[in-house]
Amino acid sequence: MWKEIWDVLRSSDTLLDEARRDALGMLDLAQEMFELVIEAMVEEAQEDCIVRIARMDRVLNDQQQQIRKKVFEYLAVSKGSDLLGGLVLTSVVIDLERIGDYTKNIGEAVCLLPAKMEFGEYTDPYESVVARTRDLFRKTRDAFASNDAEGAVEAADFYHGIKNDVDRLLHEIIEVEEPDETVEKWVLGLAFLLRYLKRAAAHLKNICTAISNPFPTIGYKPEG
């Protein structure tokens, strides 16, 4: 669906086409925020990093509003032409804004945790979730930039592997019996971080479904 919409628009530089390029810039900024907050996990100057992330989140919010404005102006001038494209793009930027929010939330959680957190036996699973979320950013960007429906489906399926592993890890963490004071800190911290990572990844999946799915099923896995 998404590919057909933008193939029609490719021949002319419309406000909607410009808004789509801006949305790709939002995705790049969201990934930059993600990389910064993951880096903050092992840096001493966490608060400086979180200030930068909060500033970037405000830029992301401004970009969302500008994209909405361009979509509205395009639809008003074109008298509703390509309404579907405008609705899809509006859905995408909502997910991009949410990724910024969850990334900022991860940063806020990091500031509450001891510097250079160690997760013991969960270090490798945590790093795997981070690495795969980074891959999901890349897969989502590639699919969005090239209007690749097949790539979007692949990326959305990739998300479900992350989701299942995070759910399993959270279940294991909750069942930790009588943790001592030191363990309590990293168990709580890891649970927060995994939950926020899962939500950020879920919004990347939603963006992928906007590329591959009919409008009513954006955000959902198609049946069949």
For residue 224, tell me if it sits in a domain.
Answer: no
Which of left, alpha, beta for 221 (phi over 0: left; psi -120 to 50: alpha)?
beta
Range of the domain at 40: 2-217
Q: What confidence category does residue 121 fall into, taking pLDDT thresholds of 50, 70 and 90?
A: confident
Does residue 10 surpass a pLDDT of 60?
Answer: no
Q: In this predicted structure, what is the pLDDT of residue 11?
A: 38
Mean pLDDT over all residues of the chain?
Answer: 84
What is the domain-level CATH number for residue 94? 1.20.58.220
For residue 13, tell me if it sits in a domain.
Answer: yes
For residue 169, tell me if it sits in a domain.
Answer: yes
For residue 125, tell me if it sits in a domain.
Answer: yes
Q: In this predicted structure, what is the pLDDT of residue 23?
A: 95
Q: What confidence category does residue 12 fall into, taking pLDDT thresholds of 50, 70 and 90?
A: very low
Number of domains comprising the chain: 1
pLDDT (mean) for 193-213: 94
For residue 222, tell me if it sits in a domain.
Answer: no
CA atoms within 13 A on the CB side of 147: 16
- Asked which of 2-6, 9-13, 56-60, 130-134 is least confident by mean pLDDT, the reply is 9-13
Select the more confidently predicted residue: 162 or 182.
Answer: 162
For residue 24, tell me if it sits in a domain.
Answer: yes
